[in-house]
Amino acid sequence: MESSAERLRRVVAAYEQHVNPGLSRLMDFMGFGVIEERAEGCWVYDHEGNAYLDFLGGFGVYALGHNPRVVADAVRAQLKRMPMSSRLMYNQPQAELAALLAEITPGDLQYSFFCNSGAEAVEGALKLVRLHHHSRSEDRPKIVTTLEAFHGKTLGALSVSGREKYRVPFAPLIPGVVHVPYGDADALAAAVDADTAAVILEPVQGEAGVVVPPEGYLRAARAACDAAGAKLIFDEVQTGFGRTGHLWGCDHDGVAPDVMTLAKALGGGVMPLGAFVATAELWECMAPNPLIHSSTWGGNPLACAAGLAAVRAIVEQDLAGRAAERGAQLMEGIRSLREQYPGLIADIRGRGLLVGVEFVDEDVAGLAIAKLASERVLVAYTLNNPTVMRLEPPLVVSAGEVEHALGVIQRAVAETADLVAALAGG
Ligand code: PLP
């Protein structure tokens, strides 16, 4: 029989020869060069049975933890009946999920289009605002977004994202995109004009390094859009479904967008599922040709059954409230780190269970992440700012699990400080 070491070698070789050798090197470097075997709640188990506490949460996917029974059961039941749609008849799980989203999203958001990822949701949202303006014979070529934003890696989503490292190799991107500094309401207002189709914003910038905007920023964006006749898109792919301590990231500012993009936690950690949700006014342009935007797998019954079960559970279990409570515990525990290690930690910030620890540079962040990996706590840096280690556990994380992670983080930072001092010394 194949030993576990042989199995690992075989998987690594397949990564190197058939997936991407760079990815395999990156996993090894970060200390996660093992095979993930199974997962439950906040824990992931490797091929040798070692348990890892998941403080990355699949970049925000696992609001309900790994493999939540309520979602898996709903998917199994749908699987028995009919996994995929005929695409000609009414699809009940899709209809019910769209109605539920209309009920729980803010403002007048009413119609949903389902897709398979966050980037696809952003693509759809951008197309929708363009179609809306064109249907009114308005020529608005401009889209305003923010520096360091992350909206996905398909061409349109990348065009409104902010990190040059990911953008430049794919130029030319879609034209007419203007980037302004995040959190600066005056810069945003100055950029939004009669040529602007839409402004797209994350209520808290996730991949930029967990950047929380000043109070009133989202309201100011709403006002700037209304004054110019532009539409407002909130990308809640990462901040949605309770992550920030409210059901929606935009609830902190008490403001609603014209279009909201969703994914990650929407599929309950069991199925890939994304959506863009918009007002009836915006959706008018979709009715004359209902196939103007479509997707073979988008809204499939399996994914929507997962979404329905997941969204109901997130609301019923008040996971937003839990995120606020555990987020406060986590923040309280790490806040002192900055005073303890001022030469190592530049900032600590976040909202709910979306928390960022900013180190003084990328190498120090890498060392700290590797230390956490060696103690079997899963964390990662933010994609558009590798100096920031994100803490983003499932929203069902217990107080004991937060305590455990805090102990490991304290140790990891202390050991990183010793290592940095030793390297500096000689
Ligand atoms: N929008 C935001 C705010 C995100 O954080 C992400 C992914 O991290 C995306 C869009 C892209 O989602 P996906 O990776 O599912 O395409």
Residue 37, helix vs strand vs coil:
strand
Unique residue bearing structure tokens 């879609």: 174
Instruction: Tell me the residue type at 265.
Output: A
Which residue owns the Cα nearest ligand 1 atom 5? 238
Q: Is the CB of 206 under 6 A from ligand 1?
A: yes
Which residue owns the Cα nearest ligand 1 atom 13? 118
Kindly list the distances between the CA atom of residue 369 and the CA atoms of 33, 50, 326, 354, in Å, as whole numbers in the listed order. 14, 18, 21, 17
Instruction: Tell me the residue type at 257.
Output: P
**What pLDDT sits at residue 28?**
87
How far, in Å, is the centroid of ligand 1 from the Cα of 16?
26
Reply yes or no on whether the pLDDT at 252 is more than 80: yes
In degrees to the nearest 10, what's the CA dihedral of 14, 18, 19, 23? 70
**What pLDDT sits at residue 29?**
84
How far, in Å, is the centroid of ligand 1 from the Cα of 156?
13
Mean pLDDT of 284-308: 97
Q: Is the CB of 235 under 6 A from ligand 1?
A: yes
Closest atom of ligand 1 relative to the 154 alpha carbon: 16
Reply yes or no on whether the pLDDT at 30 is more than 90: no
Reply yes or no on whether the pLDDT at 301 is more than 70: yes
Q: Worst-scoring range by mean pLDDT, 22-31, 56-65, 279-288, 362-371?
A: 22-31
Complete DSSP assignment for 169-185:
GG-S--SSEEEE-TT-H
What percent of the chain has pLDDT above 90? 94
Mean pLDDT of 12-28: 94
Taking the C-alpha atoms of residue 423 and residue 426, their distance in angstroms, rounded to an integer, is 5
Three-state SS for 291-318 is CCCCCCCCCCHHHHHHHHHHHHHHHHCC
**What pLDDT sits at residue 194?**
98
How far, in Å, is the centroid of ligand 1 from the Cα of 66?
19
| In contact, 368 and 375? CB cutoff 8 Å | no
Reply yes or no on whether the pLDDT at 82 is more than 90: yes
Q: Is the CB of 236 under 6 A from ligand 1?
A: no
pLDDT digits (tens, 9 = 90+) for 88-132: 999 999 999 999 999 999 999 999 999 999 999 999 999 999 999
How far, in Å, is the centroid of ligand 1 from the Cα of 171?
20
Top mutation candidate among 116, 159, 237 for ligand 1, by most atoms within 8 Å of CB: 237
Q: Is the CB of 202 under 6 A from ligand 1?
A: yes
Unique residue bearing structure tokens 């525990």: 333
Q: Which two tokens stand for residue 139?
A: 């020529």
Of 127, 116, 195, 204, nearest in space to 159 by CA: 127
Of 244, 222, 277, 235, nearest in space to 151 by CA: 235
Taking the C-alpha atoms of residue 9 and residue 26, their distance in angstroms, rounded to an integer, is 16
Reply yes or no on whether the pLDDT at 159 is more than 90: yes
Q: Is the CB of 203 under 6 A from ligand 1?
A: no
How far, in Å, is the centroid of ligand 1 from the Cα of 274?
10
Closest atom of ligand 1 relative to the 272 alpha carbon: 15
Ordered structural domains, the chain, with CATH: 4-8+47-55+318-425 (3.90.1150.10), 69-316 (3.40.640.10)
Taking the C-alpha atoms of residue 72 and residue 74, their distance in angstroms, rounded to an integer, is 5
Helix boundaries (H) for 341-377: 362-374
Mean pLDDT of 70-74: 98
In degrees to the nearest 10, what's the CA dihedral of 145, 253, 358, 411? -150
Complete DSSP assignment for 106-121:
STTEEEEEEESSHHHH
Q: Is the CB of 260 under 6 A from ligand 1?
A: no
Top mutation candidate among 236, 238, 248 for ligand 1, by most atoms within 8 Å of CB: 238
Q: Is the CB of 56 under 6 A from ligand 1?
A: no
What percent of the chain has pLDDT above 70? 100
| In contact, 212 and 364? CB cutoff 8 Å | no
Reply yes or no on whether the pLDDT at 426 is more than 80: no
Q: Is the CB of 392 under 6 A from ligand 1?
A: no
Q: Is the CB of 122 under 6 A from ligand 1?
A: yes
pLDDT digits (tens, 9 = 90+) for 175-229: 999 999 999 999 999 999 999 999 999 999 999 999 999 999 999 999 999 999 9
Q: Which two tokens stand for residue 190?
A: 């100055």
